[in-house]
Amino acid sequence: MITRILKQGHYKLQDLHMGDVIETGSCLITSDLIDSFANLSGDQFEIHINESAAQAHGFSNRVAHGLLILSLIDGLKNQAPAQLSAIASLGWDWKFSAPVFVGDEVTATFTIIDLKKTSNLERGIVTLDIKVQNQQNKTVQHGINYLMIYL
């Protein structure tokens, strides 16, 4: 499988190959992001909103919500120079493998691992293997996204 980093542009299923990669920009995780997500989601668990509580649980700093990071990564994908001609997300198989702290900077790599046509001749499904890393190149989240796109 040949790795090709996709350049700026819009890509339909017919334009893609197994192993193609979309690289995203980065996002700095701030207290304000965590607070906003806690308020929006209602998830006020103490490791997210209180540094002392996070430290009492063995963390060095406040921990970002796993779903906040997943949401930010999906947003970074949608801001990347290389865009898939998406219709809808069909689901996620996802793992939180390490905490993300206030002050961390995350980025993601999306690798195409499967392409298939559907019975609708205008649509296909791309399977993306995603790796999220912090500023130290440590994988903090990873998983699979199934995305319906135009053919």
Q: Whole-model pTM? A: 0.94
pLDDT the model gives residue 80: 98
Q: Tell me, what's the pLDDT at 36? A: 98
Reply yes or no on whether the pLDDT at 39 is more than 90: yes
Supply the mean pLDDT for the chain: 97
Residues 104-125 have pLDDT tens digits of: 999 999 999 999 999 999 999 9
Q: Is the pLDDT of residue 66 over 70?
A: yes
Measured torsion, CA atoms of residues 64, 68, 74, 80, in degrees rounded to the nearest 10: -50
pLDDT score of 1 more than 70:
no
Q: What percent of the chain clears pLDDT 70, i.e. is strictly above it?
A: 99
Write the DSSP symbol of residue 13.
Answer: G
For the segment 82-95, what is each residue's pLDDT rounded down to a tens digit?
999 999 999 999 99
- Taking phi first (over 0 means left), then psi (-120 to 50 degrees means alpha), and beta for anything else, what does residue 2 get? beta
What residue ranges do the domains of the chain occupy? 4-30+64-150
**Sequence-separated (6 or more) residues with CB below 8 Å from residue 45:** none
Q: Could you tell me if 130 and 70 are in contact, meaning their C-beta atoms sit under 8 angstroms apart?
A: no
Quick one: pLDDT at residue 3? 84
**What topology does CATH give the domain 4-30+64-150?**
Thiol Ester Dehydrase; Chain A (3.10.129)
pLDDT of residue 2: 72
Residue whose pair of structure tokens reads 């990564």 in the numeric block: 73
